[in-house]
Amino acid sequence: MTTIPLERSMAKPSTDDMWLRDLYDAHWASMVRLATLLLGSSDHADEVVQDALVGMYRHRARLQGSPLGPYLRRAVVNGCRSVMRHRVVVLMHQQADEQHTAGADSGVLSAELNASVVAALRRLPRRQQEVLVLRYYSDLSEKEISEALGISQGAVKSHASRGIQGLRAIITKESIR
Amino acid sequence: MNDQFSDGEIEKALRESLRHEAALAEVPDSYDRVRHAAAQRRPRPWFTAVAVAASLAIGFGGATWGQSLLNTGTGSPIPGAVVASDLSVSTQPSRSSSPAPRAGATVTVTVTVTPGVAQSGFDEFPVGYDHANLSQLEQVNGHWAVVLDPLTVCRSSTDKPECAGLKDPIPNDSTTVNVSLKTYRVPLASSVVVQVLDAGAPPSQKPYLPVPLATKKWETPIEVVIAISGDNEVTSIRQYWRP
């Protein structure tokens, strides 16, 4: 009779483990970077990607034969949207509390932020940011972006065009100041 | 910058800025955390209530029954896990039980193990490790085999007993620790190909390269992720990429 710790038996790699491992190896780094850009910071980026991977792992039977990259990308975009929605609510509360304390510092901070194109990007509407990040960071086609965001290709084209115009307007405005 | 900048110039600046920003992003290696999360099942409040009520109603036996159901959610085993009832019926008959189990482990089950006989010329790789250093690819008695040194992944100095002595915080959130003084010569299952990364590049950027089946020795062992079948054959082996 031999006593075997249950925990060690649970750690034995399986085909499912390798499925997850492959997905992780293939997409983890690029998706965390994408999430970082969509969120505007690395806070929660890895958590969003982790949730997306875990969600796919739980539904892997349904994903048999489907391309996993686009599915994961869409899950990450959706996860980022959830985080951003939460942030908006938190920010609204913070702004209400701190309105009376906003002073000269905010002008200085704005000038620093506007020094980069990415900072200008953050000021665009959310959907335009998403389209521009997927287009210019992930190098996706209009069709791929439309699938990732769940919008039409025409809408992708429109958001991209408006996004670039918006960037130019922000950069021009800041350079005049 | 002003209106004289063309769309093309803005697009170029945006592309470069995004890539620069992305390159600065911290990408911790969190595979163990992801794997752990994937193995969990979402709790169901109504189910918990039913299980607790059932436990209270039918006493300790019910509590045990309820707990076992809670552990598996729908009653089906967690992927990659072996439930106690499975273990009492069958185990990996020929696997070694060393190295030492995690100190924090509290659940043990008693099973009958048939004394294992290793295939001639091969070693039985210890159960529970899916990371290893790969140092050799060779042929033993006409069968291809790899020489592996088991590693364990540590996320903090208190993660496992083997991780004690590491300094927190661990860079990139995790590191691997060699857990054995011994190396193991383990056979490759048929058609399994050793896969390595081209110049260590992340798999998202470059594909894995197959290592031809020929005697080979890595002067500097490479870290690999492996899967080993119950009959002690490597069924998958590929280089582990760490950022």
Stretch B159-170: mean pLDDT? 80
Percent of chain B beyond pLDDT 70? 61
Q: Please, what is the angle between helix A15-39 and helix A126-136, to 10°?
A: 120
Q: Is the peptide bond before B169 cis (omega within 30 degrees of 0)?
A: yes
Q: Is the peptide bond before B99 cis (omega within 30 degrees of 0)?
A: yes
B220 in contact with chain A, both atoms CB, cutoff 8 A? no
* A6 domain residue, yes or no: no
Instruction: Tell me: do A59 and A114 sit in the same domain.
Output: no
Residues of A in contact with B155 (CB under 8 A): none
Segment A95-124, tens digit of pLDDT:
555 544 444 444 333 334 345 688 889 889
Query: Residue B218 corresponds to which tokens in the numbers above?
Result: 């890595």
DSSP, collapsed to helix, strand or coil, labels residue B112 as coil
Residue among A3, A4, A41, A46 with most chain B CBs within 10 A, to mutate: A4
For chain B, how long is the longest CA-to-CA vector? 80
Stretch A66-72: mean pLDDT? 87
B21 in contact with chain A, both atoms CB, cutoff 8 A? yes
Residue B70 confidence (pLDDT): 36
* Domain stops at, among A64, A99, A134: A99
b/e string for B181-215 if b means 16 or more Cβ within 10 A?
Answer: eebbbbbbbeebebbbbeeeebbbeeebeebeeee
Instruction: Tell me: do A87 and A133 sit in the same domain.
Output: no
Q: How far is A90 from chain B (nearest CA, A)?
A: 24
What is the C-alpha to C-alpha distance for residues B80 and A9, in angstroms, rounded to an integer? Answer: 9
Instruction: Tell me: do A49 and A86 sit in the same domain.
Output: yes
Instruction: Tell me: do A87 and A26 sit in the same domain.
Output: yes
* B150 domain residue, yes or no: yes
Segment A9-31, tens digit of pLDDT:
334 456 777 888 888 888 998 99
* A56 domain residue, yes or no: yes
Domain that holds residue A115: 107-177
Domain that holds residue B205: 131-239
* A3 domain residue, yes or no: no
What is the C-alpha to C-alpha distance for residues A30 and A163, in angstroms, rounded to an integer? Answer: 23
* A22 domain residue, yes or no: yes
Show the DSSP H helices in chain B as ranges. Answer: 7-24, 31-39, 45-72, 84-89
Which range among A92-96, A105-109, A169-173 shows the weakest confidence by mean pLDDT?
Answer: A105-109
Taking an 8 Å cut-off on Cβ atoms, the answer to whether B27 and A32 are in contact is yes
Q: Residue B137 contacts by C-beta under 8 Å, 6 or more apart in sequence?
A: B144, B145, B146, B147, B194, B211, B213, B214, B215, B216, B217
Segment B85-109, tens digit of pLDDT:
322 222 333 333 333 334 333 333 3
Residue among B4, B14, B91 with most chain A CBs within 10 A, to mutate: B14
Please give the residue of chain B at the shortest CA–CA distance from A22: B203
* A165 domain residue, yes or no: yes
Residue among B4, B34, B74, B89 with most chain A CBs within 10 A, to mutate: B34
Residue A100 confidence (pLDDT): 43
Taking an 8 Å cut-off on Cβ atoms, the answer to whether A10 and B82 are in contact is yes
Residues of B in contact with A13 (CB under 8 A): 80, 130, 226-228, 236
Phi, psi for residue A76 in degrees, rounded to 5: -70, -45
* A78 domain residue, yes or no: yes
- Which CATH number do you get for residue A137? 1.10.10.10
The total number of structural domains that make up chain A: 2
Taking an 8 Å cut-off on Cβ atoms, the answer to whether B204 and A29 are in contact is yes
Half-sphere exposure of A145 (CA within 13 A, CB side): 25
* A4 domain residue, yes or no: no
* B119 domain residue, yes or no: no
Instruction: Tell me: do A95 and A126 sit in the same domain.
Output: no
* Cross-strand partners of B186: B146
Instruction: Tell me: do A88 and A161 sit in the same domain.
Output: no
* B65 domain residue, yes or no: no
The total number of structural domains that make up chain B: 1
* Cross-strand partners of B52: none
* A1 domain residue, yes or no: no
* B11 domain residue, yes or no: no
Segment B184-215, tens digit of pLDDT:
999 998 888 898 887 656 666 667 788 888 88
Stretch A35-40: mean pLDDT? 89
Instruction: Tell me: do A25 and A91 sit in the same domain.
Output: yes
Q: Which of B124, B104, B127, B102 is nearest to B115 (CA)?
A: B124
Q: Residue B176 contacts by C-beta under 8 Å, 6 or more apart in sequence?
A: B131, B151, B152, B153, B154, B223, B240
Residue B146 confidence (pLDDT): 94
DSSP, collapsed to helix, strand or coil, labels residue A83 as helix
Instruction: Tell me: do A113 and A158 sit in the same domain.
Output: yes
Q: What is the DSSP letter of B68?
A: H
Return the C-alpha torsion angle A131, A162, A114, B12, nearest 10.
70
Instruction: Tell me: do A22 and A49 sit in the same domain.
Output: yes
Q: Which of A2, A6, A33 lies nearest to residue B97, judging by beta carbons?
A: A2
Instruction: Tell me: do A83 and A111 sit in the same domain.
Output: no
* Domain stops at, among A99, A115, A149: A99
Residues of B in contact with A50 (CB under 8 A): 30, 33-34, 37
Instruction: Tell me: do A67 and A134 sit in the same domain.
Output: no
